[in-house]
Amino acid sequence: MQNLKKRIRNVPDFPKKGIQFKDITTLLSDPASYQRAIDLMAHRHFDKGIDAVVGVEARGFIMGAAMAYKLGTGVLLVRKKGKLPHKTVSVSYALEYGKDQLEIHEDSITPGMRIIVADDVLATGGTMAAVVEMLTSLGARIVECCFLAELTSLDGRSKLKGQKVFSLLKFDD
Ligand code: AMP
């Protein structure tokens, strides 16, 4: 796991001062590391009756699509407002300044579907909490919120109470 952690580049003060940005492009561009990370994230769910993996725009697509391929499920897209062409449901969530909105196609979830939600980084947890709220409102059963990396000092898990949360790599700075 240490080897995978080392593949993530820390960029201090991006996009603004005080943020330690975890740049996953350096892990993604290394074939063995990307494959290993996806294998480790997906393999715990083999034979668990997963119906679909949800990927959260944008880097969650890179995790979610590969996990879905591995598990032999479809991949469902949670996108920023205005990107999905058909009828959507949406959820608003707070950003540091202002609000944003995420959407999913209403007909992509049938009640009772067993879902894994994938994203790259768990930071404050605000994004995933909003996605959980939206998927639950459509009747999805969320089996796990699954992240490549977690910034433990930001305690995103506290916003995801009641959910199973897994992160492959943990960073305390
Ligand atoms: P949050 O809602 O705070 O958990 O973070 C939402 C999204 O912002 C995550 O899915 C990441 O893609 C991105 N993000 C937040 N903080 C960082 C960080 N320090 N490094 C890399 N990505 C981040």
Q: If you take atom 15 of ligand 1, which residue's CA is the nearest one? A: 123
Per-residue CA distances from 86 to 39, 91, 92 (Å): 32, 16, 19
Q: Is residue 9, in this structure, part of any structural domain at all?
A: no
**Side-chain half-sphere exposure of 162, counting CA atoms within 13 A:** 8
Looking at 96, 133, 144, 150, which residue is catalytic? Answer: 96
Higher pLDDT, 21 or 95: 21
Measure the CA–CA gap between 26 and 172, rounded to whole angstroms: 19
Q: Is residue 8, in this structure, part of any structural domain at all?
A: no
| Boundaries of domain holding 125 | 48-171
Q: Is residue 91, in this structure, part of any structural domain at all?
A: yes
C-beta contacts of 10-13 below 8 A and 24+ residues apart: 10/173
Residues of the chain with pLDDT > 90, as a percent, come to 95
Q: Is residue 144, in this structure, part of any structural domain at all?
A: yes
Question: What is the band of 173 on the pLDDT scale with cuts at 50, 70, 90?
Answer: confident
Is the CB of 21 within 6 Å of ligand 1?
A: yes
Number of independent structural domains in the chain: 1
Q: Is residue 37, in this structure, part of any structural domain at all?
A: no
- Give the other-Cβ count within 10 Å of 60's Cβ: 26
Looking at 36, 59, 114, 157, which residue is catalytic? Answer: 59
- 122: left (phi > 0), else alpha (psi -120 to 50), else beta? beta
> The domain spanning residue 113 has which CATH number?
3.40.50.2020
Q: pLDDT tens digits for 33-49?
A: 999 999 999 999 999 99
What pLDDT shows up at residue 95?
Answer: 81
Question: What is the band of 2 on the pLDDT scale with cuts at 50, 70, 90?
Answer: confident
Q: pLDDT tens digits for 122-156?
A: 999 999 999 999 999 999 999 999 999 999 999 99
- Give the other-Cβ count within 10 Å of 159's Cβ: 18
Q: If you take atom 11 of ligand 1, which residue's CA is the nearest one? A: 121
Is the CB of 153 within 6 Å of ligand 1?
A: no
Measure the CA–CA gap between 38 and 111, rounded to whole angstroms: 27
DSSP-derived letter for residue 2 is H
Q: pLDDT tens digits for 75-129?
A: 999 999 999 999 999 999 988 778 999 999 999 999 999 999 999 999 999 999 9
Minimal CA–CA distance to 102: which of 67, 130, 132?
130
- Concerning whether 7 is annotated as a catalytic residue, the answer is no
The predicted model scores a pTM of: 0.97
The rounded radius of gyration (Å) of the Cα atoms in the chain is 16
The answer to whether the beta carbons of residues 88 and 80 sit under 8 Å apart is: no
What pLDDT shows up at residue 128?
Answer: 98
What pLDDT shows up at residue 1?
Answer: 78
The answer to whether the beta carbons of residues 101 and 80 sit under 8 Å apart is: yes
What pLDDT shows up at residue 69?
Answer: 98
